[in-house]
Amino acid sequence: LIHQGHRDLVYPRILGHEMVGRIRELDGRGFGLAEGDLVQIWPGIVCGECRPCRRGKDNLCRDIKIMGFNSQGGFAELLALPAESLSRGCNLLPSNSDCSLLALSEPLACCLNGQSHCLVCRDDFVLILGGGPIGAMHALLARLRGAEKVMVAEKLPERIRLLKRNTDAVVFDPADEPLQDLLAAETEGQGADVIFSATPGMPIDRDSLHLLSPGGRACVFSGPAPGHQEKELDLRRIHYHEITVFGSYGCTSLQNRLAVELLLSHKIRADWLITRRVSLSQIDRALDHSARRAGMKSVVCF
């Protein structure tokens, strides 16, 4: 984010959009919340009135502002929230909740959004391009939704090791063998029913669409890396094989609440994704850890 930039990031800015905290003070209506409550925060600030908001797609609000991007974020001891965030975006947590774990709610909700488009279901062969935190969450969700087999393409040895230890996905390094050959071997030559791009380095393009079986679905989940050269999509294949390509951006406030419930109920076990905890004064270490793609997720604790 810092090195590559982002469409919505406006400097100067306090970053941080995956947040859990306690309410220090309320000014006016609390919307059922009280001072001292522990909450997880959906980072969107939306109008609530535009067509997408009325249809439950508040992540696509025409006037959306995102904490940590357009307004100040969570890498601070105190954060002022507008009333709209209290009413729509604050999810009350049990007071003894694991704050580090529940901070994963927002990225997990983003994965829920992607999987809601592609309708991952029982007996699907699911291929995930990229085995970082997002790819790992997609793998966990796909199995929860009944996918027959989940395959993850990842190049970093440490992440391959973590995925093999904590998921039942088939994990492989695409540098070892052509991806098409590996996929054919794992799917009895059928190809993938669903593909998620969970890294800018492996986008959904003409080549990846050829990994899909007839009727397959592809999710453009991760934005392309800087300097990415667009490739033409194979429209003939999309037409004759009934391939569907979905875009997925962020998550809705409802999906954020669903992600909180999945973590609190332990239906998704994601504590292993937290590979480093640091204090706010050590945030530079966490940012370096993430930039080097060392481990999985770093969490800043107060």
For position 100, what pLDDT does the model report?
97
State how far the Cα of 286 lies from the Cα of 5, in Å rounded to an integer: 18
Q: Can you say how many angstroms the Cα of residue 145 is from the centroid of all Cα atoms in its chain?
A: 16
State how far the Cα of 113 lies from the Cα of 92, in Å rounded to an integer: 21
Helix axes 133-144, 157-166, angle to 10 degrees: 20
Q: Give the residue ranges of DSSP H helices in 146-216.
A: 157-166, 179-186, 206-209
- Residue from 122, 105, 113 nearest 39 by CA: 105
Rg of the chain over Cα atoms, rounded to whole angstroms, equals 20
State how far the Cα of 90 lies from the Cα of 38, in Å rounded to an integer: 9
Task: Yes or no: say if 152 and 171 are a contact pair by the CB < 8 Å rule.
Answer: yes
For position 290, what pLDDT does the model report?
86
pLDDT tens-digit map of 46-68: 999 999 999 999 999 999 999 99
State how far the Cα of 151 lies from the Cα of 166, in Å rounded to an integer: 14
> Domain spans of the chain?
19-107+251-301, 113-247
Give the CATH H-level superfamily of domain 19-107+251-301: Medium-chain alcohol dehydrogenases, catalytic domain (3.90.180.10)
What architecture is domain 113-247? Answer: 3-Layer(aba) Sandwich (3.40)
Q: Give the residue ranges of DSSP H helices in 229-279.
A: 235-240, 253-264
State how far the Cα of 267 lies from the Cα of 270, in Å rounded to an integer: 9
- Residue from 296, 293, 277, 294 nearest 99 by CA: 277
Low-confidence ranges of the chain (pLDDT < 70): 1-6, 224-229
